[in-house]
Amino acid sequence: MTVVGPFGLSVRDQALETDVQTGLAAVEEGLLDATKSEVPFITEAARHLVRAGGKRFRPLLVMLAAQFGDPHAPGIVPSAVVVELTHLATLYHDDVMDEADVRRGVPSANARWDNSVAVLTGDFLFARASRILADLGPEAVRIQADAFERLVTGQILETAGPREGQDPVGHYLDVIAGKTGSLIAVSGRFGAIMAGADERVVDILTQYGERLGTAFQLADDVLDIASDSHESGKTPGTDLREGIPTLPVLLLRARAAEYGRPEDVELCALLDGDLTDDARLAEVLRRLRAHPALDQARRDTIRYAEEARASLAPLPECYAKAALEELCDAVVHRAG
């Protein structure tokens, strides 16, 4: 048994380990190649987050999904590069919208340079992803375009907020299905399609990615509050400080609105105050870590991860399926 990947994934088969490790190494090379420009400054900006590392969760899913067909098919690595480039591009844009100072333990592009550089660098990465995608055929272009539409729609929904009378928690789940679930679903879809897997298998791995993507984001929401380390690549409380709605906060607000408990109302008031004050942020984190809303968010994370695992049931038993099931455990562990 060998441990590979950022999640400590246990691989119990030598052939699978070799395919995954070789594939991820090729993706890294592909990312460096795709972020190289004739203009040195563009190369520096485009590689800023590539070199900062990251989980490479999406390329890992592409490699595992490809095991249900020909794992050495030529389109697998390029499709993994496409999804990771798209993900990286959204991070540049997200950091501008959120006015974030840190990403993956390094200064964000907008903090290091400025917002214009960050936005244009994200656009550059989208352009490079599109160039690679064009060589993968019209179906791949359509799949990526549909996913990108969902991703942008999710971002717009988040910016606009819930409609009058709409459940904020339901709205938020719709947001993250678009912002996060769509691209992780495409990772499973691309891996299976490029490997020539059966259409039924493609659909299963797409649904798996969709559910796992939601669990993945909810785990990040929990980590932002519960972690004392930098497991999420951000300082704990970053989302709170930036006023980004996350599931534990939305659940807290729902409880405060429904039951009106003074301590919940008071905590909501603290959240609505100035969280640039370190002492105030620390107090909010302390209270949220002891609040039932955080436990409920953990349970919701587990539920989506278990739905992802259940969706794999029709697949034949194999080492790749076991690895996909273990990814569900890894996501839940992050929220533990």
- Give the tens place of pLDDT for each residue, 238-295: 888 888 889 999 999 999 999 899 999 999 999 998 888 889 999 999 999 999 999 9
> In the chain, what is the greatest distance between 2 CA atoms, to the nearest angstrom?
60
Q: Are 57 and 184 in contact (CB under 8 A)?
A: yes
Measured between alpha carbons, how far is 12 from 194 in angstroms, rounded to an integer?
A: 24
Which residue do the tokens 């993507």 mark?
213
pLDDT at 41: 83
Dihedral angle computed from the Cα positions of residues 247, 297, 232 and 64, in that order, rounded to the nearest 10 degrees:
-110
Measured between alpha carbons, how far is 29 from 92 in angstroms, rounded to an integer?
A: 21
Look at domain 15-197 and name its CATH class.
mainly alpha
Measured between alpha carbons, how far is 76 from 131 in angstroms, rounded to an integer?
A: 15
Q: Are 329 and 308 in contact (CB under 8 A)?
A: no
Q: Are 308 and 215 in contact (CB under 8 A)?
A: yes
Positions of CATH 1.10.600.10 in the chain: 15-197
Residue 127 sits at φ, ψ, to 5 deg, of: -65, -45
Residue 103 sits at φ, ψ, to 5 deg, of: -145, 125
Q: Are 327 and 9 in contact (CB under 8 A)?
A: yes
pLDDT at 3: 44
pLDDT at 236: 79
Flag residues of the chain having pLDDT under 50.
Answer: 1-3, 230, 232
pLDDT at 130: 94
Instruction: Decide: residue 90, CB within 10 A, 0-12 exposed, 13-18 middle, 19+ buried.
Output: buried
Which residue do the tokens 């997200």 mark?
94
DSSP alpha helices (H): ranges in the chain? 14-34, 40-46, 48-51, 57-65, 76-98, 109-112, 115-134, 138-160, 168-176, 182-194, 199-226, 238-241, 247-259, 262-271, 278-289, 292-311, 319-334
Reading the block at residue 259, the tokens are: 């039951």
